[in-house]
Structure 1
Amino acid sequence: MKQDDAEVIALNALAWIAGADLLDTFQSSTGVDRDTIRQAAQDPELLGAVLDFVMMDDDWVQGVCRAQSLRHETFLAARAALPGGQSPHWT
């Protein structure tokens, strides 16, 4: 997946977070303030953090995927395409 496509998925996930009344939880979890959230479109690392946050709860992943008509695999590919989303190599 191209990073641009992953960023769109993450921005839509951020909108879902706000609509699901999870924005305060996101802020508490990440330490990100509202001004930084407004700048999220220009920060691929923050967008990766958005997807990491969603992945903390299976129901949230399902909600985001339903809202965007995404397969779970596509959601995971989006996370992998953003900074910090690469699978670690343990060897």
Structure 2
Amino acid sequence: MLHDGEAAETVALHALGWIAGNDELLPVFLGASGLRPADLLGRAAEPEVLASVLDFLLMDDAWVIACCDGAGLGYQSLRRARQALPGAAPEWG
């Protein structure tokens, strides 16, 4: 069984996969996070990057709903996952 941190990382990776598959939202996330596609690929498993994915999605309820529907997650799973990951919200910009 996964502990909270592992479960949170798994949810965040599902969310990242959803963003990566969204041609309209991926460039917005990359611009907001300051990550380049190669950086994102190489750093995808880092807790700070996973937290930034969840922080980004949590800014818009429509994104949360679409992501959760697309990934087969409960609507509260992104918020719970973010709470289980260490660190503060990233400084974007």
Under a length normalisation based on structure 2, what TM-score does the superposition of the two structures give?
Answer: 0.80
| SS of alignment partner, residue 61 of structure 1 | helix
2:91 paired residue number: none
Q: How many residues align?
A: 86
Aligned equivalent of 2:73, options 70, 75, 83: 70
Percent sequence identity over aligned pairs = 42
Unpaired stretches in structure 1, ≥5 consecutive residues: 86-91
| 2:3 paired with 1:37 | no
Superimposed CA distance per residue, residues 42-67 of structure 1 (whole angstroms, 9 cap, x where no aligned partner): 30111000001111211110011112
Aligned equivalent of 1:25, options 28, 40, 46: 28
| 2:80 paired with 1:84 | no
2:63 paired residue number: 60
CA distance in 2, matches of 1:67, 1:26: 17
Q: Give 4+ residue runs of structure 1 displaced > 3 Å after superposition.
A: none
Please report how far the alpha carbon of residue 79 of structure 1 lies from its aligned counterpart in structure 2 after TM superposition.
Answer: 0.7
1:88 paired residue number: none
CA distance in 2, matches of 1:66, 1:40: 25
Under a length normalisation based on structure 1, what TM-score does the superposition of the two structures give?
Answer: 0.82
| SS of alignment partner, residue 20 of structure 2 | helix
Unpaired stretches in structure 2, ≥5 consecutive residues: 89-93
